[in-house]
Amino acid sequence: MSRFVDRVVIHVSGGNGGNGCASVHREKFKPLGGPDGGNGGNGGNVVLVVDSNVHTLLDFHFRPHAVATHGKQGQGANRDGATGQDLELMVPEGTVVMDADGEIIIDLVGHGTRFVAAQGGRGGLGNAALASKARRAPGFALLGEPGDTRDLVLELRSMADAGLVGFPSAGKSSLIAVLSAAKPKIADYPFTTLVPNLGVITAGETVFTMADVPGLIPGASQGKGLGLDFLRHIERCSVLVHVIDCATEEPGRDPLSDIDALEEELARYTPALGGTLADRPRIVVLNKIDVPEARELAELIRPDIEERGLPVFEVSTATREGLRELTFALAKVVADDRANRPIVEATRAVLRPVAVDDAGFTIEEDRSTEGAFTVRGERPERWVRQTNFDNAEAIGYLADRLARLGVEEALAKAGARPGCPVTIGNMTFDWEPSTPAGIAMTMFSRGSDPRLEQDDRVGAAERKRARRARRGLDTADGE
Residue 78: exposure state from Cβ atoms within 10 A (0-12, 13-18, ≥19):
middle
Query: In the chain, where does the domain assigned CATH 3.40.50.300 lie?
Result: 162-340
pLDDT, residue 346, reads: 53
Chain centroid to Cα 476, Å, comes to: 89
pLDDT, residue 264, reads: 81
Query: In the chain, where does the domain assigned CATH 3.30.300.350 lie?
Result: 362-454
Q: Which residues are annotated as a binding site?
A: 166-173, 191-195, 212-215, 287-290, 316-318
38 within 8 A of 74, measured Cβ to Cβ: yes
pLDDT, residue 165, reads: 83
* Least confident residue range of 43-52, 353-362, 382-391, 413-422: 353-362
Q: Which residues are annotated as a binding site for GTP?
A: 166-173, 191-195, 212-215, 287-290, 316-318
The three-state secondary structure class of 321 is strand
Alpha-carbon gap, residue 22 to 131, rounded angstroms:
11
Query: Is the predicted pLDDT of residue 224 greater than 90, yes or no?
Result: no
Closest CA to 272 of 107, 55, 161: 107
Query: Is the predicted pLDDT of residue 3 greater than 60, yes or no?
Result: no
pLDDT, residue 229, reads: 59
Classify residue 99 as left (phi > 0), alpha (psi -120 to 50) or beta: beta
pLDDT, residue 375, reads: 92
In whole numbers, what is the pLDDT of the chain averaged over residues? Answer: 81
Beta bridge partners of 374: 364, 423
The enclosing H or E element of 217 equals none
pLDDT one-digit tens code per residue, 342-352: 765 655 667 77
pLDDT, residue 186, reads: 56
Task: Say which residue, 251 or 120, is predicted with more confidence.
Answer: 120
Mean pLDDT value across residues 467-476: 69
pLDDT band at 178 (very low <50, low <70, confident <90, very high): confident
pLDDT one-digit tens code per residue, 233-288: 777 788 888 888 888 777 777 888 888 888 887 777 766 555 667 778 889 999 88
For 43, which DSSP code?
A: P
- Domain formed by 362-454, architecture: 2-Layer Sandwich (3.30)
The structure's pTM equals 0.72
215 within 8 A of 190, measured Cβ to Cβ: yes
Alpha-carbon gap, residue 178 to 92, rounded angstroms:
25
Query: In the chain, where does the domain assigned CATH 2.70.210.12 lie?
Result: 1-156
CATH number of the domain located at residue range(s) 162-340 in this protein: 3.40.50.300
pLDDT, residue 472, reads: 74
pLDDT, residue 424, reads: 92
CATH fold of 1-156: Spo0b-associated Gtp-binding Protein; Chain: A, (2.70.210)
Q: Which residues are annotated as a binding site for Mg(2+)?
A: 173, 193
pLDDT, residue 348, reads: 65
By DSSP bridging, strand 239-245 and strand 197-203 are unpaired
pLDDT one-digit tens code per residue, 301-334: 899 988 988 899 998 888 888 899 999 998 998 8
Closest CA to 243 of 273, 199, 202, 283: 283
